[in-house]
């Protein structure tokens, strides 16, 4: 058992380290690792019994896999099947073969080389997703590809955990042991029958029974008991406890208990997973930095380079456009948390010695610290190269146009065509040289430049213009341009395109009052057409759309006033929906009354 003093030290180290790392906008996982390095044997040596803590912390991995199983709904996997099972499979196979071949060439036995190659091919799911989320890149092509690959990696760990014991050397006292494939087949068949059938027959009915008690702490206890029992059952069958927990999660992914189970277990998972990373930091052999620094750096740099090149090439083959393949490569080169588990288990199973395991674990730890920095360095170099390649911004002769259009994509071009048809002159700016060259081929006068630059706005005539059409696609660039214009040219009336409610709120914070959501008008136009096709008169459809537009605008203003308070924001949203429903019910009742009185 962990003593109360050790618990206090672990919690204090976690709170301090994670807070510092989050203030520095770095991953919390790095904070946990740093906390372990500081309080471990190679740091202040505040806790000596690392082995006992590691055994407790491994339950965090079990909970993590259970929750991953809960999130793997069959429908979600089917939608992403090409990325998950196509690109994901290719990444794991290619990186495993390349890295395993290198390990084998350096003298590792074939089984150990396979484990090393597979372990280093994995990336840290929480680390990568957090970095991409912070950079708002999860919905980009390379962000979606990274998510699909990480999802497959999580799936691939499960058979690896099942196969790992079968790769361990067989003692001489058991010469008649069954072939590995017979043992594997037996484990899969027995595991599938007992765990899956037992889950269908026993697990869901038992949870329904507990749910009827309607005591939240009892259901939380039942959730923990579910994970522990399935882990123990898997262990009895010779499977990994993490694999058993994952199968239990998959069984409950489509059940009515999915969200409640996830919410109940999330705090335990977070704390125990944090404890696992702290224990990894404590067990990291920092003496290797002093004794074999070149070997350690060579391993770390080598597998990072192999993964960047291999993943970028696969992204290119998957027809990702632009620099998305390279961004994907620089998003996924780090090692992952499951590598710690695999290498620790491989060492216990005598697949390789303690020195090799320590070297690999420390290399993975270093890669997780370097990964976010590599992505930042790549994006900085990419931006500088893009600016060099595209050349300086266009010089703009003094303009007297009453309208400036910032952003000349599809949105800005429609505004420009209407102005052109009415003979109203305008000056258009766009920050993409490729886009500007393309648009100019059709006779449009567009200048290459960043609309947030004060000198460029002055050259475009912002001091004498009457209207700025802010149609920039990128949200951050749009907000930056609006801030400069509001500060330097307060007389300029801004009509801003907003991509979402959050974008609209950011513009409203700057005092922009004319905010047009980009798909809003076309959606309302289609809604009116749908109503008419269902038998509504044209006048009735127009009135319904008008009422909705007015109500939605009032809701937007109400939400803006409480946007910092999540509870009030959600309450405002629910109240607005109920109010709108009552409005349309009143309209329907009024129309019915008119029809009755003829």
DSSP assignment, residue 83? Answer: I
Q: What confidence tens digit (pLDDT) does each residue in 493-522 have?
A: 889 888 877 788 888 888 888 888 777 777
Three-class SS of residue 430?
Answer: strand
Identify the pLDDT of residue 479: 84
Question: Looking at 110-114, 131-135, 236-240, 453-457, which range is the least confident one?
Answer: 236-240
Identify the pLDDT of residue 103: 92
Q: What confidence tens digit (pLDDT) does each residue in 172-198 have?
A: 444 444 555 555 565 566 556 655 566
Identify the pLDDT of residue 527: 83
- Token pair in block for residue 171: 């003692």
Identify the pLDDT of residue 389: 46
Residue 438 pLDDT exceeds 50:
yes
- Token pair in block for residue 208: 């329904």
Identify the pLDDT of residue 176: 45
State mean pLDDT over 267-281.
74
For the 403-597 domain, the top CATH level (class) is alpha beta
Q: Taking a C-beta distance cutoff of 8 angstroms, is the pair 519, 532 a contact?
A: no
Residue 592 pLDDT exceeds 70:
no
- Token pair in block for residue 135: 């950079």
Q: Which of 424, 332, 327, 322 is nearest to 371 (CA)?
A: 332
118 band by pLDDT with thresholds 50, 70 and 90: very high
pTM recorded for the entire structure: 0.55
Q: Taking a C-beta distance cutoff of 8 angstroms, is the pair 359, 296 a contact?
A: yes
The residues spanned by each domain of the chain are: 4-169+178-383, 403-597
Residue 545 pLDDT exceeds 70:
yes
Residue 407 pLDDT exceeds 50:
yes
Question: Looking at 180-189, 211-220, 249-258, 568-577, which range is the least confident one?
Answer: 180-189
Identify the pLDDT of residue 487: 82
Q: Which of 545, 540, 547, 503 is nearest to 523 (CA)?
A: 545
Residue 53 pLDDT exceeds 80:
no
**DSSP track, 339-353:** HHHHHHHHHHTTSS-
Q: What confidence tens digit (pLDDT) does each residue in 199-230 have?
A: 667 777 777 777 777 777 787 788 778 778 87
Domain 4-169+178-383 annotated CATH 2.40.50.180: no
Residue 123 pLDDT exceeds 60:
yes
């Amino acid at each position: 058992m962990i003593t109360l003093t050790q618990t206090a030290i672990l919690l204090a180290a976690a709170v301090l380290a994670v807070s510092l790392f989050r203030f520095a906008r770095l991953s919390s996982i790095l904070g946990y690792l740093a906390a372990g390095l500081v309080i471990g044997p190679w740091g202040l040596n505040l806790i000596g019994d690392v082995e006992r803590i590691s055994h407790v912390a491994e339950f965090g991995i079990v909970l993590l896999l259970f929750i991953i199983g809960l999130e793997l709904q069959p429908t979600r996997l089917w939608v992403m099947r090409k990325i998950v099972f196509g690109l994901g499979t290719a990444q794991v196979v290619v990186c495993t073969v390349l890295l395993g071949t290198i390990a084998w060439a350096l003298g590792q036995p074939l089984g150990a080389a396979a484990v090393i190659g597979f372990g280093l091919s994995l990336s840290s799911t929480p680390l990568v997703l957090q970095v991409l989320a912070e950079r708002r890149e999860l919905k980009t092509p390379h962000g979606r590809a990274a998510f699909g690959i990480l999802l497959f990696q999580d799936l691939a760990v499960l058979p690896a955990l099942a196969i790992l014991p079968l790769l361990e050397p067989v003692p001489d006292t058991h010469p008649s042991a069954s072939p590995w494939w017979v043992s594997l087949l037996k484990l899969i068949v027995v595991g599938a029958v007992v765990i899956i059938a037992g889950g269908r027959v026993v697990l869901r009915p038992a949870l329904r029974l507990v749910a009827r008690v309607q005591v939240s702490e009892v259901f939380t206890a039942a959730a923990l008991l579910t994970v522990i029992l399935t882990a123990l059952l898997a262990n009895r069958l010779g499977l990994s406890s993490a694999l058993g927990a994952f199968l239990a999660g998959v069984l409950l992914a489509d059940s009515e208990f999915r969200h409640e189970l996830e919410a109940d277990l999330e705090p335990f998972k977070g704390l125990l997973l944090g404890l696992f990373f702290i224990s990894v930091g404590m067990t990291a052999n920092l003496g290797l930095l002093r004794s074999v620094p070149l070997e350690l750096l060579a391993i770390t740099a080598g597998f990072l380079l192999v993964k960047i090149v291999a993943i970028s090439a696969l992204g290119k083959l998957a027809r990702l456009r632009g620099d998305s393949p390279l961004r994907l490569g620089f998003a996924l080169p780090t090692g992952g948390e499951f590598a710690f588990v695999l290498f620790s288990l491989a060492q216990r199973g005598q697949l390789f010695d303690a020195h090799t395991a320590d070297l690999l674990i420390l290399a993975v730890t270093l890669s997780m610290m370097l990964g976010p920095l590599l992505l930042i360095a790549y994006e900085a170099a990419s931006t500088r190269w893009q600016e060099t390649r595209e050349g300086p911004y266009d010089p703009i002769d003094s303009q007297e146009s009453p309208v400036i259009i910032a952003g000349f994509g599809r949105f800005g071009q429609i505004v420009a065509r209407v102005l052109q048809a009415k003979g109203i002159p305008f000056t258009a700016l766009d920050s993409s040289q490729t886009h500007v060259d393309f648009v100019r081929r059709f006779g449009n006068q567009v200048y290459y430049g960043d609309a947030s630059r004060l000198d460029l706005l002055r050259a475009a005539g912002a001091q004498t213009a009457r209207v700025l059409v802010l149609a920039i696609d990128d949200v951050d660039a749009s907000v930056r341009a609006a801030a400069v214009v509001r500060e330097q040219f307060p007389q300029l009336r801004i009509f801003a395109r907003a991509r979402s409610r959050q974008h609209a709120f950011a513009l409203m914070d700057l005092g922009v009052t004319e905010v047009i959501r980009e798909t809003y008008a076309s959606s309302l136009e289609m809604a009116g057409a749908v109503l008419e096709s269902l038998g509504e008169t044209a006048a009735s459809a127009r009135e319904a759309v008008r009422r909705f537009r007015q109500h939605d605008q009032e809701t937007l203003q109400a939400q803006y006033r409480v946007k910092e308070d999540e509870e009030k924001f959600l309450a405002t949203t629910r109240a607005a929906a109920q109010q709108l429903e009552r409005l349309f019910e009143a309209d329907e009742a009024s129309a019915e009354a008119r029809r009755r009185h003829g």
